Amino acid sequence: MAASMKKHPMPEQDPAVRAHNFEEVALGYDEETAVAEAGRCLNCKVPQCRKGCPVQVNIPAFISKVKERDFDGAISIIKESNSLPAVCGRVCPQESQCEKHCVLGKKGEPVGIGRLERFAADWQMAKDEEITPMHFAPDAQKVAVIGAGPAGLTCAGALARKGYRVTIFEALHVAGGVLSYGIPEFRLPKDKVVRKEIANLEKMGVKIELDSVAGRLYTVDELMQEEGFDAVFVGTGAGLPRFMGIPGENLNGVYSANEFLTRCNLMKAYQFPKYATPIHVGKHVAVVGGGNVAMDAARTALRLGAEHVYIVYRRSMEEIPARAEEVHHAKEEGIDFRLLNNPVEVIGDEKGWVKALRCVRMALGEPDASGRRRPVPMEGSKFQLEVDTVIIAIGTGPNPIVASTTPGMDTNKRGNIIADEETGATTKEGVFAGGDIVTGAATVILAMGAGKKAAAAMDEYLKRKKEA
């Protein structure tokens, strides 16, 4: 059965067309394809796939439901463990999680678990699911969640379902965190998916206060002592973009990926001047880094009209941290991968604008602390890429605003909040934390996993508090 060795292909927009629009790249399975793909699942006695899922979705059970065409049943099984399946089906790195453990993957391709998850979630969204508002007891305890990103939304949803009154404080004018400002429309549609998931939480009874910078408007202590919150969850994310510290990084035309993507996704600079926020794209763009954010920035630059976009990454394709699908899509769209290259200087013109990126070629040496082979510069190998925009996508550090205004909540030397891995408990009583602010920049699903674990621990904490 050669056909079953491969996943059913995902219908996609043609690369030549999609490189110039912001519509979603992957179009999703139709019913017949989904049922057929579900039919590939062997329904193993001891399913390995679940082990790879940070929120332990009951994967074989939901796939069986898809096979039986009981799509309602499929989505309700997923939602027992995952509150944002339409998001996860699109952005999870399945190849290093659930699908990595699929038995079929040993000889051929694993079951397209992510694609099936997305199918089930989209199927339900298309029906405009009825959300029943929660009835909160008059004496229901109050929880404040700081940050409306994946960790905060998951934690808020889980606690609201348990009957707590939850208010999310979000610094930006739109909820969603990285789902709104970071991940582009062509990978995660905002109106169709992100806004809908958030609206569902609100319908359920979660309050979201936008434009509210916790730490400035209210400190954590004020939330607990003056605003009457019984517990607080901090999910402020990985806020501060890192730069390389090379000469020329402050020239005009050099962006952090955060700024470039925020201007485009959140502020809709791609519709300038209808939307007032400008963006500079240039004809030749170099994106520095090899993660998902780098791929997003490169593909966004292309869609904004850049003629040639480079990915400059200091290791090789083997070590590239982006999802396999993103690298594949980027290549299809014509992104020029310059691997084993490391920037050493941004060169400017006489007016203070970028005109080139000076790089050095690298070779892979012995494995470093991360287990990956360490890139070492090759002597005499410097060269220049003529570019007019440089986007730095080498990661982010923790945002200091909440931590620096919360005495008693300790951080490590990198500035990340110290929190228990299983419960999210910080060193301050009643305060929990999870997501990138604890782990450093990671993935949507890991942040959601942390939000979920923290919600369970907060439930325990709040029960104890009520009894005391």
Partner 1 sequence: MFRVLRKKELSPGVFDYDVEAPRVAKKALPGQFIVLRVNEEGERIPLTIADFAPEAGFVKIIFQVVGASTAALAAVAEGESILDFVGPLGQPSRIGSDMGTVVFIGGGIGVAPVYPIARAVHEAGNKVISILGAKTKDILILEEEMRSVSDEVIVTTDDGSYGVKGFVTTALQQLVERGEKIHQVTAIGPGIMMKSVADATRPLGIKTIVSLNPIMVDGTGMCGGCRVQVGDETKFACVDGPEFDGHLVDFAGLMSRGRMYREQEAEAKDHVCNIGLGR
Cβ proximity of 338 and 314 under 8 Å: no
- Supply the minimum distance, in Å, between the C-beta of residue 357 and partner 1: 18
Rank residues 163 and 415 by Cβ distance to partner 1 and give the closer one. 415
Distance CA 383, CA 357 (A): 8
Rank residues 170 and 459 by Cβ distance to partner 1 and give the closer one. 170
Tokens at 82, concatenated:
């995952």
Cβ proximity of 290 and 313 under 8 Å: yes
- Supply the minimum distance, in Å, between the C-beta of residue 401 and partner 1: 6
- Supply the minimum distance, in Å, between the C-beta of residue 237 and partner 1: 8
Residue type at position 371:
G
Rank residues 352 and 365 by Cβ distance to partner 1 and give the closer one. 352
Rank residues 113 and 297 by Cβ distance to partner 1 and give the closer one. 297
Cβ proximity of 141 and 167 under 8 Å: no
Rank residues 211 and 386 by Cβ distance to partner 1 and give the closer one. 211
Q: Is the dihedral of CA 18, 22, 23, 28 positive or negative?
A: positive
- Supply the minimum distance, in Å, between the C-beta of residue 211 and partner 1: 5
List all residues 6 or more positions away from 263 whose beta carbon is below 8 Å from its beta carbon.
269, 277, 278, 279
- Supply the minimum distance, in Å, between the C-beta of residue 160 and partner 1: 23
Would you call 335 helix, strand, or coil by DSSP? coil
Rank residues 243 and 383 by Cβ distance to partner 1 and give the closer one. 243
Rank residues 261 and 438 by Cβ distance to partner 1 and give the closer one. 261
Residues in contact with partner 1 by the rule CB under 8 A: 171-173, 181, 210-213, 216-218, 239-241, 243, 245, 249-253, 255-256, 258-259, 262-263, 266-268, 272-278, 280, 351-352, 399-401
- Supply the minimum distance, in Å, between the C-beta of residue 399 and partner 1: 5
Strand ordering across the sheet containing 389-392: 254-256, 389-392, 284-288, 308-313, 336-339
Distance CA 158, CA 163 (A): 9
- Supply the minimum distance, in Å, between the C-beta of residue 215 and partner 1: 9
- Render the burial of 145-182: b for 16+ CB within 10 Å, e for the rest: bbbbbbbbbbbbbbbbbbebbbbbbbbbebbbbbbbbb
